[in-house]
Amino acid sequence: MKTVATIAALAAMANAHATFQQLWKNGKDLESTCARLPSTNSPIEDYTSKALQCNVSPAAAKGKCAFAAGDTVTIEMHQQFTSRDCKTEAIGGAHWGPVLAYLSKVEDAATADGSSEFFKIYENTWAKNPAASQGDNDFWGTKDLNYNCGKLDFTIPKDLAAGDYLLRAEAIALHAAGPAGGAQHYVTCYQLTVTGSGTLAPKGVTFPEAYSKTGPGLGFSIHANLDSYPAPGPKLIAGGTTATPSLLTFGTLSGAPAPVAGAPADEAPVASASSAAASTPAASSTPAATPSSSVEDAKPSAAPTEPSATPAETPAPVVSSPAAPFPVSNSTSSAALPIATSSSAIASTTLATAVRPSPTGDASGDASGSVKEFYQCGGMNYKGATGCAEGLECKQWNPYYFQCVKSGSSNGSQPPPSNNAPSTGAPSNNAPSTGAPSNNGPSNNTPAPKPEPTNVTPEAAPSAAPSAPAAGAGEKKYTLETFIAFLEEEAGAEKAAKIRRMIEALF
């Protein structure tokens, strides 16, 4: 039963996995025609694996997508291969972290193996939420993905040399990361052919060598109060696109072009993620007249049912200078990074449907006790709803993260919202062992032989181990909690990563 409960718990965690699948060109949906789709939606956690190049054994793409230097590219992510539902988070489970994009110049995008150098052309990482005291509640690139129908967009550098390229899209989840590692990478490569008269051919980095599990932005805990965040990988190239994340819930990103007059809801232009104060030069001042500002949703996409005219209200984010020397470890000093909107880094033009689907309440639930399955319901410094919807229970994975899962998946009662829940289990399990000698005395049915207590005493210690199953539901709960806490807190360790991969391979 413990094994079944453990597998069920990890299956719940795996449900939040996702993949980049579709691609858009100047608002035109190219679907997955040039995507090397991964075989699963599971993350990459091995920093010695070539899977960091283009994922694990991706399927061959149908062909190449043609772009011109300066065109707008939109990457699209979803949790499942069969759904493009805008009402579902692109990558759920509080998988907060940065979103990055790289290009690699190759001879033939259809046959390139991903071992060539990649240079970074896009990053949407982190911005401070003035109302938050914990990094989980700040602005993150994956939050923009989640609440923007899985879409983020950027431009191909206008001076880029013509030729074939691999476009490497990546989302990094930091919910289980810490100084020892534990980040999760979600990667997809697209095959492009770029035209133009430019000569830009930046130097790049290779994967997996560009990352390490304890490197900047990877060996990093987001559960503290953050002053800054060091973007993983190399610096953004000159002429690349930098975005300031700005969404904390479903809504329209600021700077969106107005819908085309007379266009039906499912053919409305998509929104721009760039802030009103930092519009991209790639965007036209007359959005309706340019292809890069008008987007028709793909036919396979789920059509929004109800328009939401009011964008989500979010605190003004802080724009960090990409040239700032970020620290490797979390910073808790009061010296904030300078606020800058450098002209060398183009602001993002992230695309999403201008007519957003109107969620039936908060995506995660409300304070009345209706937090949905796989959403957060507790944890250190968590201030949201704590009651789960009917049939669910609030499950603690570690002191920072509680999640609503199906009742019974923990094979025990709901864990208390205590930061020390896993550790309190050990004393409770050992408590009966302190009374082992007294329990074993009566079991002999005769108090006469004096030597018996001394003979029993050495046996009391090993008897604690087999007595564990007799502890009942409490023992099962704490054993599972300890195991889950081990996987989360020691996620950077080789043994923990191996155990996680072995269990996830069952699904």
Domain co-membership, 275 together with 204? yes
Assigned domain for 369 exists: no
Domain co-membership, 426 together with 297? no
Boundary-marking domain end, from 312, 338, 362: 362
DSSP secondary structure, 265-277, as one string = GGGPPEEP-S-TT
Assigned domain for 122 exists: yes
Q: Give residue 97's pLDDT band: very low, low, confident or very high (50, 70, 90).
A: very high
**Candidate ranges 265-279, 334-348, 403-417, 421-435; pick with highest mean pLDDT:** 403-417
Boundary-marking domain end, from 313, 331, 362: 362
Beta strands in 293-391 (DSSP E): 307-308, 346-347, 352-353, 356-357, 376-378
Mean pLDDT, rounded, of the chain: 69
Higher pLDDT, residue 81 or 258:
81
pLDDT of residue 380: 72
Domain co-membership, 32 together with 71? yes
Domain co-membership, 170 together with 315? yes
Domain co-membership, 204 together with 284? yes
Domain co-membership, 413 together with 356? no
CB distance 346 to 340 below 8 Å: no
Mean pLDDT of 14-39: 90
Higher pLDDT, residue 76 or 388:
76
Q: What does the alpha-carbon distance between residue 348 and residue 237 come to, in Å, rounded to a whole number? A: 14
Mean pLDDT of 376-389: 81
Q: What does the alpha-carbon distance between residue 253 and residue 271 come to, in Å, rounded to a whole number? A: 6
- Burial of 287 per CB tally in 10 Å (0-12, 13-18, 19+): middle
Boundary-marking domain end, from 335, 362, 389: 362
Domain containing 166 — which CATH number?
2.70.50.70
User: pTM to 2 decimals?
Assistant: 0.55
Q: Report whether pLDDT(315) > 60.
A: no
pLDDT of residue 383: 76
Residue 29 three-state SS: strand
Domain co-membership, 243 together with 300? yes
Q: Report whether pLDDT(281) > 70.
A: no
Distance of CA 482 to the CA centre of its chain: 24
- HEC sequence for 285-316: CCHHHCHHHCCCCCCCCCCCCCEECCCCCCCC
Domain co-membership, 54 together with 143? yes
Residue 252 is part of which domain span?
17-362
Domain co-membership, 394 together with 299? no
Q: Which pLDDT tens digit goes with each residue over 181-239? A: 999 999 999 999 999 999 999 999 999 999 999 999 999 999 999 999 999 999 999 99
Q: Report whether pLDDT(162) > 80.
A: yes
Q: Report whether pLDDT(300) > 50.
A: no
44 secondary structure, DSSP code: B
Domain co-membership, 91 together with 137? yes
CB distance 292 to 274 below 8 Å: no
Residue type, 454: T
Structural domains of the chain, count: 2
Domain co-membership, 385 together with 406? yes
103: its two tokens? 């290009």
Assigned domain for 368 exists: no
CB distance 478 to 425 below 8 Å: yes
pLDDT of residue 109: 98
